[in-house]
Amino acid sequence: MNAHLPFAGWLICAALIVPRLVSATEYPLPAENSRLIGENTTAQVPNDKRPLESIAARYQVGLLNMLEANPGTDPWLPAAGSELTIPHQMLLPDTKREGIVVNLAELRLYYYPKGENKVIVYPIGIGQQGIMTPSMVTRISQKIPGPTWTPTPNIRKRYAQEGVKLPAVFPAGPDNPMGLFALRLAWGSGHYLIHGTNADFGIGMRVSSGCIRLRPDDIEALFNSVSENTRVQVVNQPVKYAIEPDGKRYIEVHQPLSRNEQDDPQTMPLPLSKALKRFINSSESDKAIIEAALKRRSGMPVLVNLGEAVNHDQIAPQNALESAQEHETGQESATIGKS
């Protein structure tokens, strides 16, 4: 299943989504030479005939993260009584630990409160195919309580193709698709924002027009925590890896962002930097486990030390997938996956 679902499918399902029940996930900040945070948990699907999004919201996880961790799960009607992995363990992105960091590939926002030894992680929605959220290093230029929304002609046209007629201007208030709070980014002409939503759907999915979308309580908490000029870095790192202080080596692989309808995020190529290839080829790394993790793309850290026991449920390839192929290019970044 291609987890990057079409734009129209998520518009029509808004009425099925229930409110989330918990706030953002906070983690103690690890030492500078460590990037592993959190622990995975499990949950049983209740017999309430609600979609997977209701469970994702309850545990403050994005929908795509749930689908990566639990392949084959029906997003509309997960089997009652089945056990799901809740992916609460992760590696911090390879970035400066300051302000806001967004990793597009994992659809998560990391907030590092100044002077506090913690990181707060929020699931997010990002830009659709063709209107992708760009990578950038910028800052918050404006905090906007009660934003209005003026859809651009292109946005109005795209919604019209899905049978939705947009008004010229959405006034501020609970029915505004931007929610009740917005943070404008200084990048470009200032048309990218971190904002809320008027419906709890699409978080952890690619459904926006390029902005970064949070659940209502999450954007309110973030809005009240940050100040103007807070640093914001947006990266696209589908493959993260780390060597922890105790010598344990981990790799975390997410589905890369598809660029068109023909792309299959489960088999399309993954970027492999020179540093990552050195990590893979190290005598201390188990290449077989790494290759399986690159193919499985579970979105969860996998222990890859040579000779170490691992959780094979996280790396066992799906039967329907083709074998991954490595492409050496001799450039700064190579790829692995389907050519």
Nearest to 216 by CA among 19, 77, 79: 19
Helix segments in 41-144, DSSP class H: 52-58, 63-69
Could you tell me if 111 and 122 are in contact, meaning their C-beta atoms sit under 8 angstroms apart?
yes
Structure tokens at 174: 């609970």
Can you tell me the distance from the alpha carbon of 324 to that of 290, in angstroms, rounded to the nearest whole number? 11
Nearest to 238 by CA among 251, 250, 255: 255
Helix segments in 103-200, DSSP class H: 153-161
Q: Is 13 annotated in the active site?
A: no
- Set 4, 88, 195, 254: catalytic member: 195
Cα 244–41–128 angle (5° rounding)?
85
CA distances from 61 to 74, 161, 184, 215, 302 (A): 16, 30, 24, 11, 19
Nearest to 90 by CA among 240, 243, 283: 240
Laid out side by side, the sheet with 181-185 consists of 25-28, 118-123, 108-112, 99-103, 231-235, 136-145, 181-185, 193-195, 212-213
Residue 248: HSE in the Cβ half-sphere, 13 Å Cα cutoff: 13
Say which DSSP state 332 is in.
S
Structure tokens at 64: 């795509």
Find all residues with CB under 8 Å of 65, minimum gap 6, and list them.
Answer: 56, 87, 106, 107, 108, 123, 204, 299
- Set 88, 211, 254, 327: catalytic member: 211
Q: Is 211 annotated in the active site?
A: yes
* Catalytically annotated residues: 195, 211
